[in-house]
Chains A and B, each alone.
Chain A
């Protein structure tokens, strides 16, 4: 038995067998390509080369930062391998002459090169073959995405153990419906996998440093999402203990279910709005299931995932309308897609270079303003879906009044366009901004004239205020939502917005943290938006607190110097 400590990312307990997600195990099948599809196959290969080139650029940036210029030169050699005529010319030749699939043709060429390397006696040169196979592997994985299919096709319930999971992987996990829990080497409480696990109600522990290399598929694990622990090969006693605890948690869950339909009102009668976050239209049935008052954040990024073209107006309209239909009459806050440059490249938008620091880079509304057609398409779909007039539009990653005015201008254009096309545009959707970049909090008074509401995205606000990359294991400890700077910014936002009578919501992970909830409400936040799986639990937190008491506690917290003091104060009061 071995116990590993990590970061608790999603509540609950999972007991089961490990399934290690390896990135390199790729089975290459030989398939015949019919003559009429040869051209497309060559094209697919060329695209994989382009994609690999972007991947290498991204890795180069990281290596340059961490290890220095000399090491980054190795990546330059990798780039040359990508441009090697053996790969750029001989592989397409094989595809054309033999009607081979791209993966197989590439592996044939690589095998031949390997044979040549095997003949070399000199150890030093011999070892160089790894450089080549590194690149070869990258190209092949860009061709087949095999690990994703393996996740989709899981047969038995398992606990997924991975070094890191990508947003596209989680989509397949959702489809497989066979995942009991998650363990990940990387990640923090607010990384993508954590958010995903919370929304699926799957226990997760992340930030376990090297667990994916310590265990093997089939090992028995206990994932303790409360304590942030993973127990490898537990004893029978431990398993029994956890089974009992799991039952207790289920009972608690049962208790929370009795809160369904009751208002989110504090003990002393202060009413707030409690809403759900929504990741995809497919999750919309969860809204009536918990009787949610609304959707405070509909993340539309999923519409843009696992595909190579931008979702059309029709597709988007179908998605938004299906949510309206699944949960009629409640407010639906749609955030325009917060996609980054890497995603845009995969969607076929040309001319984007990989970025050294995508979190500080080309994403959210920045990208949509640069490519206004993307924004227009999304807004057209939103206007058309807004038949009940309950839809609100939320702008992510906003940092200036100029950006807001640009978006409003584009929205006005869209409205005119639709009217000219004979579509009767009903009520204008309300517009709001996400406060994620501290700049938006600081200039909020200058934005309020143009907007109807404000939503604080705490995950990014914490990250940008504290300059902490939440998935960087070296600094993830510094990621602290209870940092005084964060609380004071939230306070500034609430005070500024309330002066103009505009409501403030919080839709980050803080909104469902039982310790943060009373503090946020004490600061005056009007709306909390939480994962559907946390909805009733969060309602319990709201209904257990006293607004008057926490108004005072929040004021005291605002004058404190350290997050430790603030945490102690809150933990003392939340029982």
Chain B
């Protein structure tokens, strides 16, 4: 299992578009990926789940992945957060 905690630094938080990017990226991997915020856990491949996290700027999210490609998956997702989901 690979785990990583990451802080949301983009201005708008995880609204529809970033949630879409996360679900899209997560869906490319075979492993099971979960996002946890304040004890609430959702499937990272589910855009609806991700949006219900209501993760605004400054909140912390834990990414956990389990499966053959878990390392790559977590790295790819963390990369999205760090690049602020390509927001200007």
Contact = CB atoms under 8 A, between A and B. Distances in A.
Whether chain B is bound by chain A comes out as yes
A116 B47 contact: no
Interface in B15-54: 15-17, 19-20, 23-24, 27, 43, 45-49, 51-52, 54
A428 to B, nearest CB: 57
Contact of B52 (A77, A117, A131): A117
Contacts of B19: 77, 80
Given A80-B47, A128-B15, A120 B20 contact: no
A124 interface: yes
A249 to B, nearest CB: 54
A82 B15 CA distance: 17
Given A84-B23, A120-B54, A74 B16 contact: yes
Contact of A128 (B16, B23, B43, B56): B16
Given A77-B20, A120-B54, A122-B56, A84 B47 contact: yes
Contacts of B27: 83
Interface residues of A, number: 24
A84 B17 contact: no
Contacts of A553: none
Give the bracket for the number of chain B residues in contact with chain A: 20 to 34
A86 B51 contact: no
A128 B20 contact: no
A81 B19 CA distance: 10
Nearest to A74: B16
B52 A120 contact: yes
Interface string A94-132: 000000000000000000010011011110111010011
A42 to B, nearest CB: 19
A81 B48 contact: yes
B48 A122 contact: no
Nearest to B23: A80
A86 B54 CA distance: 18
A77 B20 CA distance: 5
Contacts of B20: 76-77, 80
A194 B13 CA distance: 49
A85 interface: yes
Contacts of B13: 124-125
A125 B54 contact: yes
A82 B52 CA distance: 16
B51 A125 contact: yes
B84 to A, nearest CB: 16
Contacts of A77: 16-17, 19-20, 47
Nearest to A115: B52
Interface in A411-453: none
8 contacts: A73-B17, A76-B17, A85-B46, A116-B52, A120-B52, A120-B54, A128-B51, A131-B16
Given A86-B48, A116-B52, 19 more contacts: A76-B17, A76-B20, A77-B47, A80-B24, A80-B47, A84-B47, A84-B48, A84-B49, A85-B43, A85-B45, A86-B46, A113-B52, A120-B54, A125-B54, A126-B54, A128-B16, A131-B16, A132-B48, A132-B51
Interface of A: 73-74, 76-77, 80-81, 83-87, 113, 116-117, 119-122, 124-126, 128, 131-132
